[in-house]
Amino acid sequence: MEELLNKIYTTLNGEDRYISEISNIFPYVHNEKFRKYYHLLLELCSRDVVMHCLAVSLYTYEVGLKLKSKGHNIDLDLAVYGALLHDIGRSRTHGIKHGVEGGKIVRKYNLGEELALIVERHIGGGIPKEEAVQLGLPPRDYIPTTVEEKLVAHCDNLISGTRRVDINFVVEKFKRRLSCDSINHPVILRILRLNDEINLLLGEEKLRHIECNVERQHTKGHT
């Protein structure tokens, strides 16, 4: 996966040596709007954030194709663009406010309210209004509601850095982060519900990662 992401990164940065190989796997390397958003991300964010966003974009594309093949109505372009920009707010902060800050950036550049909402609502399984207030966020709900918002949040949860992980990895990470011994924490339960919802749309068994190529080792991620 790391090799593939490096090839996508190289191709998007203007080198054509991998173009035929990569375009068959991830056709968005040819997409004018995707490239525009990519260069904005590249201008504002560090390389590790850019690579993470590419990893989430690729995963979102793959899962989105599966959803479409199951007959679900999804704007795949919107989802992939949202995945690319979901962490653009990390150019300002790596804290819990990076979703809100990212939404501000998307609106500043007039990239569309749908994209801004994907960026604002991608954290974990979403953040309800009462919890947002406690966290110092503007008082509103940050719960993903559209299939595109849910898909980006879900795929972001299952990417640690640039590695694909399973839901058990995610649960253990949040248990450590929240200093709790049980999955019965509202944050973890929202993540699990989102995971179940996407997997049910895909016709997959609950609480299972949708692909078999899972790397379980602990890595630094962006959530």
pLDDT (average), residues 80-105: 98
* Helical packing angle, 147-157 and 113-120, nearest 10°: 40
pLDDT (average), residues 146-156: 98
Q: Which of 114, 49, 58 is nearest to 87 (CA)?
A: 49
Pair of tokens at residue 120: 């604002």
Pair of tokens at residue 81: 């663009």
Q: How far apart are CA 223 and CA 221, in angstroms?
A: 6
> What's the pLDDT band for 205 if we cut at 50, 70, 90?
low
In which residue are the tokens 């950036």 written?
A: 105
pLDDT (average), residues 95-115: 98
Full set of structural domains in the chain with CATH: 2-202 (1.10.3210)
In which residue are the tokens 């690579």 written?
A: 51
State pTM to two decimals: 0.90
pLDDT (average), residues 39-48: 98
Q: Does residue 186 surpass a pLDDT of 90? A: yes
What per-residue confidence (pLDDT) applies to 217? 30
pLDDT (average), residues 127-133: 97
Q: Does residue 222 surpass a pLDDT of 60? A: no
| Sequence letter at residue 99 | G
Burial of 145 (0-12, 13-18, 19+ CB in 10 A): exposed
